[in-house]
Amino acid sequence: MASLTGASISMTPLKLRASSSKMSTLRSVSLPMNGQSFTSLRLQRGASRFRVSCAAAKPETLGKVCDIVRKQLALAPDTAVNGDSKFVALGADSLDTVEIVMGLEEEFGISVEEETAQSIITVQDAADLIENLIEKKA
């Protein structure tokens, strides 16, 4: 079985010219790796891009990120926060997100560039970024 660790693929739909000169849009993709293919991925109606992410973060890193997010957003202890949680869905605005990133930088001893910080959408995105930055530091 093929394995993919710490990778992220993002694609926007491609406009393809059909033989009848009509424009069509790529709505699915198959990703081959080591002679095997992942199941074809389909773009949901109304979505503007594919996003495939293979979680790389350790469970303890993800747990710390969840705790920091919960604290920074002053969420109730029973509020579900996991890797799939989107900051916006948890009630975070842009200032909250900056404060979360600052908390992560302090906790993990890392520095996150502003451009990179803007690409963090989910708790898993943050945990994966932390793991990557720690790995680069080592």
Q: Is 93 a catalytic residue?
A: yes
Among the listed residues 67, 78, 93, 96, the single catalytic one is: 93
DSSP states of 24-59 as a string?
Answer: EE--EE--EETTEEPPPEEPPTT---EEEE---S-H
- Pseudo-torsion of CA 121, 72, 63, 57, nearest 10°? 30
**Which residues participate in catalysis according to the annotation?**
93
